[in-house]
A and B are shown apart, each in its own frame.
Chain A
Amino acid sequence: MIVFIARKVGGALVTFAVAITLAFLLSRMSGDPTANILGPFATPDQFESLRERLGLNDPLPVQFLDYLKSAFTADFGESLQYGQSNTQLILERLPNTIVLIVLAMAIAIGIGVPLGVVAATKEGSAWDRLASTVALLGQSMPVFWLGLMLILVFAVNLGLLPAGQDGSLKHVILPAVTLSMYPLAQIARLTRATMAEVLREPYIDAARARGLRSRRIIGVHALRNASMPVVTITALQAGLLLSGAVAVEYVFNYSGFGLLAIQAVEFRDYTLVQAVVAFGVLAFILLNLAVDLLYAVIDPRIRRA
């Protein structure tokens, strides 16, 4: 188990290093941020002194080392755009995004898993067709379009929920529903497929022959054995939701991590982009680590590996 954890953590560190290196290089390639800060009427001297002050005239390796130092001390300096500490900016916005993702994931699991289970136990029934339809729609609808449609129906026409901004639970509902559609579809589809497969296993027949109730057979024996791929996809989706949140937050003008990321990129706010990427990657990696450990809890066969 200790070797297992050590190997996973080692892999995670490599991933982190590669990701932050890419974030550094890509932001340097995107152009000069000083133009955005000083505006169109600044003199060449002003540009030059600002570049000097921000350390942009240093050779790239020096800049990179500075960034590495900041990444490992979790002090990412000041935002070029807001003049505030980057870490603080992110920590302010992060809770909004976490609420959004947790709610979206809860909707996706709460509806996706039962839908998949029912579809698998009643293959070919109306429920099964409903599940397939939901899965197809959920996977093929673009997030921004779905978000706009929901705003149109629930905010504009029915006036039930606010169209944007943040602040209360009411404000999170529409973005969360929008964000949940894709993982919901994935989870429903995968649950159905793995459940249908597990239900054909001999130990399910064996459990029936022993006289166990259907509910126990489906709920305990089948679902537990079908849960591995479902847990995987759920966790992977939770990571992907971080990127999904960027689009959703933009559509609903929801002030979270994703919106901050867009603003940082638009402004060429190097330091903020780098900080955002480092945080995002870290979150994704921690999620994946959690999944790996969860596997070992669910499946006794993995503990030895």
Chain B
Amino acid sequence: MRAVDVAIRHDGHDAPTVKGVSLEVGSGEIVGIVGESGSGKTTLAMAVAGLSPYTGAAVDGALEVVGCDLASADRRALKALRADVQVVFQNPHASLDPRQSVRAGFRELRTLQRERTSWISDEELMERVKLSPDLLDRYPHQLSGGQAQRVCIARALLMRPRLLIADEPTSGLDVSVQARVLELLLDVRDRDGIAILFISHDLAVVRLLCDRVYVMRFGEVVESGPTTRVLTEPQDPYTKALIEASPGRHGPGADRLRAVKA
């Protein structure tokens, strides 16, 4: 995906939430967007997923996602795009319909994209995200946070996407569960070659997972580059402040996460 000089404005607000942002995600790449709450990370991600019309946001600028220009895309192109780009949201329980069992959720996607989803059975898919197939008939309230997030990832994988947008996928989970979910995301990239746009405010997580990173503040990108470079030799004062303030830098969570990557 490529975004050039994108600005996003919300209904009823004069000031744009995101302004003049350009970013790129190459295939098979994990790219992070970091920034504090309200910096426009999620707004940008929703725009990339083609969800802006539903959140009441207007997008200006060129936004090209897996070869599809969002501004001129028709319904058919959007349908293809919705399969090529999958989103994993922050709160796994809230992003699952409480009246739909795991299996019914898969079935719904299979009816939507019959051929695309025929590559794997429900049971194999569960094993792919390291869940027991016994959970297939559970409802969301019978799953733990980590299990629910794996189900969300499984649903995304089922569509064989080229880009996965992960919007703070681990911030609602315990640290130990976080590590397992991140491990799964790395595995998704390594085995399926799916590019990931990873949105987070947690620098420790970004450091481990992302190849490149964009730092956002007040709707603008203040710094970008390879993750190690940006986090060890930050150029922008805001990035420096963010790194200084990062709570996970020396904590047990960070160690745990480092152990996962090793």
State whether these chains interact. Answer: yes
| B83-120 contact mask (Cβ, 8 Å, vs A): 1 or 0 | 10111011100111111110000001100110000000
Complex contact A202–B89 (CB within 8 A)? yes
Which chain B residues in 49-86 approach chain A with CB under 8 Å? Answer: 49, 51, 54-55, 78-79, 82-83, 85-86
Q: Does B86 lie within 8 Å of A205, measured CB to CB?
A: no
Report if B217 contacts A (CB, 8 A): no
Instruction: Point out the residues of chain B lying under 8 angstroms from A301, CB to CB.
Output: 98, 139, 141
Shortest beta-carbon distance from B166 to chain A in Å: 12
Q: A210-B82, A211-B79 are in contact. Are A203 and B108 (CB under 8 A)?
A: no
A residues near B112, Cβ cutoff 8 Å:
210-212
Q: Chain B 142-182, CB within 8 Å of chain A: the 1/0 string?
A: 00000000001001000100000000000000000000000
CB pair B139–A210 under 8 Å, yes or no, is no
**Measured CA separation A210–B141 after assembly (Å):** 21
User: Could you give, for residues 235-271 of chain A, a 1 whenever the CB lies within 8 Å of some chain B CB and a 0 otherwise?
Assistant: 0000000000000000000000000000000000000
Q: What's the Cα separation between A157 and B113 when bound, in Å?
A: 58
With A209-B87, A210-B109, A299-B99 as given contacts, are A203 and B82 in contact (CB-CB < 8 Å)?
A: no
CB distance from A31 to the nearest CB of B (A): 54
Q: How far is the CA of A283 from the CA of B78 in the complex (A)?
A: 52
Contact between B86 and A210, CB atoms less than 8 A apart? yes
A37 to B55, CA, bound (A): 71
- State A206–B91 Cα separation when bound (angstroms): 11
* Contact pick for A209, options B49, B79, B99, B139, CB 8 Å: B49
Any chain B CB within 8 A of the CB of A201?
yes
Query: What number of A residues sit within 8 Å (CB to CB) of B?
Result: 18
From 192 to 225 in chain A, residues with beta carbon under 8 angstroms from any chain B beta carbon are 201-203, 205-212, 221, 224-225
B193 to chain A, nearest CB (A): 21
* Additional 18 contacts, C-beta under 8 A, given A203-B97, A299-B98: A201-B94, A202-B95, A203-B94, A203-B95, A205-B55, A206-B87, A206-B96, A209-B49, A209-B85, A209-B86, A210-B86, A210-B109, A211-B79, A211-B82, A212-B112, A224-B97, A301-B98, A301-B139
> Chain B residues in contact with chain A, CB under 8 A?
46, 49, 51, 54-55, 78-79, 82-83, 85-87, 89-91, 94-101, 108-109, 112-113, 139, 141, 152, 155, 159
Query: Can you list 8 A-B pairs, Cβ within 8 angstroms, ordered by A?
Result: A203-B94, A205-B51, A207-B97, A209-B49, A211-B78, A221-B97, A299-B99, A300-B98
